[in-house]
A and B are shown apart, each in its own frame.
Chain A
């Protein structure tokens, strides 16, 4: 989904800084250690996963100081291209390899296959103010609210009235800046690839800011990663169509795929990974790595 959005310069700078800091940190410890050259693992891909990947890389520096993981964003498509061209060891992907990409890969790497590791899930919650009486919403209704030609603009259209503290009937749509991975996934999942988001949404600059604003605005509705929930906001159960059973966003419903706005996140290597990379991927899937998944607001793998 984010493949058209190439290098995230802020993230790249962040990653470089992180890498630099890691070099410094681990460099100190290395002098009295066994020595040897530090191995760099290039890790490129999905913008949705970039914060998680950086968090992993940071934490892993303490686990295995002989390795430095260098993270870059750029989008899933960039990660795939980098893996095919041998310019990275691990590709982050918030979707599966497409058939064409697998064919390209085979052409460049005869006898190898892109090896897939599922590393966690990304689930979006739809939040409203904690005093909002609403408990569930359908994808259709969200589409009518967020799409450019959508027809829902008032709370009364949804049958919601008397939100305590709300002023007027207007629905304040909270969204994200238009190049965030979350924005892209939400746009694709709710309003559709070919449609546009409504103009006039309040675009916040971070997942946490969305929740902060909703907690202070009784008229608001917005979306953010499931892990960003706070007691001041309420998440809604989501149904595919009005009248169908609405599903609570939980780790369990994400895992059994009944929750409609969630997707798995993958890491790919070209064929079987080297022992050091294998160790890193195993650590990511281990409890220690999955704890970071939960801490950064994503859904960890089932135990």
Chain B
């Protein structure tokens, strides 16, 4: 052995050199560890800082208008004449109704499809089919909303006119259909996770009791995964409420209280998108749009909070 020892070989363990090297490396590693730790902390906190920063900014721009405004008129009047030269009116009731109606209709369409697909992917599919389906559904989520809007405006509008014999093709139904398609992928992936989290022993027990596949899903899996599925739906709702470009293009963007699902409507988000670009900073119109932003922020905050609390409920079980 002695013959192989050269200058370049590491010092034998226990020697003074080895201890020093180890200490040095330890110091570098410790330092790296600390740096990375701080960085990760920063990343974590930055999310909070950004959220509060955005909230602060939106509130700062919109809040001064609260003093000048009759809040009752803002929330309950349907007269939206922000650029009138003689008597400007800022009533967003029609916009609130627009947002809520499009979102609810979208959910009526999306929930059965989304949860049905989640059950199918999780319980019926195996192997390749499952993987392919998951990839394709996720692909659906990757389509930009402006593309959806364009499809709504150019492809679906004429089809809706012909199929349902209605005077206009860009309407609540068109927008809701697009929103449904956009929120289904979220529901499927989160819903599938929720179903996957149900222990296999539940399935085995149900089958051992002689349950059919339908009974297993309806009576065992859905109740067991209830909270996760609800969270999936609420996140879909959040997606639908916040969506802008697709609804701007496909709902018709018309200030009115809809009487049927084939009436054009206008949403809160689309109003901000269409009008903010051309208002002068600090004007009443500008501030009223930020006030709409605050309203929207509150709505999505409540929805997300609800989803969060429900997911927490899942974890506790």
Contacts and interface: CB of A to CB of B under 8 A. Distances in A.
Decide if A and B are genuine partners: yes
B167 A6 contact: no
Nearest to A176: B274
13 contacts: A10-B277, A73-B278, A74-B280, A178-B81, A196-B84, A199-B78, A200-B256, A201-B255, A202-B170, A205-B253, A216-B154, A216-B169, A217-B169
Given A167-B167, A180-B278, A217-B168, A202 B161 contact: no
Interface residues of B, number: 40
Interface residues of A, number: 41
Contacts of A202: 168, 170, 252-254, 264
Contacts of A170: 167
Contact of B280 (A7, A10, A166, A183): A7
B278 A168 contact: no
B81 A196 contact: yes
B243 to A, nearest CB: 16
Contacts of B256: 199-200
A9 B277 contact: yes
A275 to B, nearest CB: 34
Identify whether the interface residues of A are mostly helix, strand, loop, or mixed: loop
B18 interface: no
Contacts of A74: 280
Nearest to B255: A199
Interface of A: 4-11, 47, 73-74, 165-168, 170, 172, 177-180, 183-184, 193-194, 196, 199-205, 209, 212-213, 216-220
B164 to A, nearest CB: 8
A179 B83 contact: yes
B167 A8 contact: no
Nearest to A200: B256
B247 to A, nearest CB: 12
Contacts of A5: 83, 278-280
Given A5-B83, A6-B283, A216 B158 contact: yes
Nearest to B252: A202
Contact of A172 (B158, B167, B277): B167
B116 interface: no
* 5 interchain residue pairs of minimum CB distance: A6-B280, A10-B277, A200-B256, A219-B167, A179-B278
